[in-house]
Amino acid sequence: MGSTFFHASLEYAQQLDREDSLRRFREEFYLRPDTIYMDGNSLGLLSKRAEKTLLESLEDWKHYGIDGWTNGTHPWFFLSEKLGESIAPLIGASPDEVIVTGSTTVNLHQLTATFYKPKGEQTKILADELTFPTDLYALQSHLRTRGYDPDEHLICVKSRDGRLIEEEDIIEEMTDEVALIILPTVLYRSGQILDIKRLTAEAHKRNILIGFDACHSIGAIPHSFSEWDLDFAYWCNYKYLNGGPGAVGGLYVNRRHFGTSPGLAGWFGSRKDKQFDLEQTLTHTESAGAYQIGTPHVLSVAPLIGSLEIFAEAGIENIRRKSLAINQYFMDLIEHELADLGYVIGNPRLDHQRGGHVSLEHKEAARICKALKENGVIPDFRSPNIIRLAPVALYTSYEDVWKVVQTLKVIIEEKQYEKFSTGREIVA
């Protein structure tokens, strides 16, 4: 359904920018001249504050050496916990339920090792076929190490149309044989939001633990993880949270699981007052911090310090409000300008079902993405036919969106895409 008020003119886009309550944050980010960045759902842009806190951490290392663990602008020893406190409001959790550590896949390995406890006939893991493949790789490896055949013990819920997953289909697969469920909060291709609250409640009715991959929602969509009572979640911090390439990830563990021994134990999961006793038996902390494994990668977490300051100021509810509005404007403009050029919107239309990006389909998607780059627009291609475009609330303007749509139009009308090969680039 389109917006109630909509105009296709550049002047209307500029008016929307003047009315944008978050417009001042655009100045916080390094935006390349003559380039429109639409790939923040893969890697967010660098902010000036993230640069500042990274440089401050380098100064801490320069001036304090080993004493940087407890001294300096950003002491390292409690840094993961401090950042967990900053992220907690974005996902609706208590500060001690969140820790910044590891990476998406490492954290999934940790949480699966901790909470996948097959017994009797309850041995299977439930996922979906549209999830990001790294999750499936990790789950397959855990089944193999337990002596189970992934072809039999990993259930992947099928999509009816190749774009979306129906919650009813997931619930139908929650049988007595399922020991653990791993699902995305937002599907990375179509941008569909799953009903996390409903799925968690249905899993718990059947005494099944459930966890979520929040990579494509954290920083774009507010959540209420503790209220919804999910067992755990994990995510990266380099997409909407702008933590930088390879930024340290994060995880959430519901407090009712505090005290559960980590499946993959390491010394940074120690109780802080005991950590440097260096005893041969781990005394893990009674918080999400227990699921840390090794020493935090300080220089890969430092940019997040500054980035999260921006999110605290902007407010996740305000970010979501603009994200919904600018994506609706984007879809309205696509339908108005590109209707007869082969483009199809593949993401859900309803606000409560769509995440932070537009999934635009076209049979020439691979070549169109290359043409977009030549025209100064940075998109994201997903095989075989998806152009992912993410107007990020903090730094994308309505005028940017208007210009992207005009570029998409010209690429087809002038057949600019024809000079490019059909294969994807090394990094899509």
What single letter denotes the amino acid at residue 101? Answer: T
Closest CA to 249 of 130, 108, 97, 138: 108
CA pair distance 286, 188, nearest whole angstrom = 33
Q: From the centroid of its chain, how far is CA 191?
A: 11
Residues at the annotated binding site for pyridoxal 5'-phosphate?
Answer: 104-105, 132-135, 213, 216, 238, 267, 295
Residue 133: φ, ψ to 5°: -55, -30
Residues at the annotated binding site?
Answer: 104-105, 132-135, 213, 216, 238, 267, 295
Three-class SS state of 305: helix
Helices (H), 315-348: 316-337
Question: Which two three-digit tokens encode residue 168?
Answer: 């009813």
CA pair distance 131, 182, nearest whole angstrom = 9
Question: Which two three-digit tokens encode residue 130?
Answer: 């549209």
Cβ neighbourhood burial of 43 (10 Å; 0-12, 13-18, 19+): buried
Residue 372: φ, ψ to 5°: -60, -45
Q: Which residues pair with 156 in a beta bridge?
A: 127
Beta strands in 40-197 (DSSP E): 98-100, 124-128, 154-157, 178-184
DSSP state of 286: S
Closest CA to 370 of 380, 360, 361, 362: 380
- A 10 A CB-CB count for 209 gives 22
- Tell me which residue has tokens 């655009």: 26
DSSP state of 96: G
For residue 398, CA distances in Å to 110, 207, 321, 335 come to 41, 46, 14, 16
Angle at 388 between CA 34 and CA 111, to 5 degrees: 120
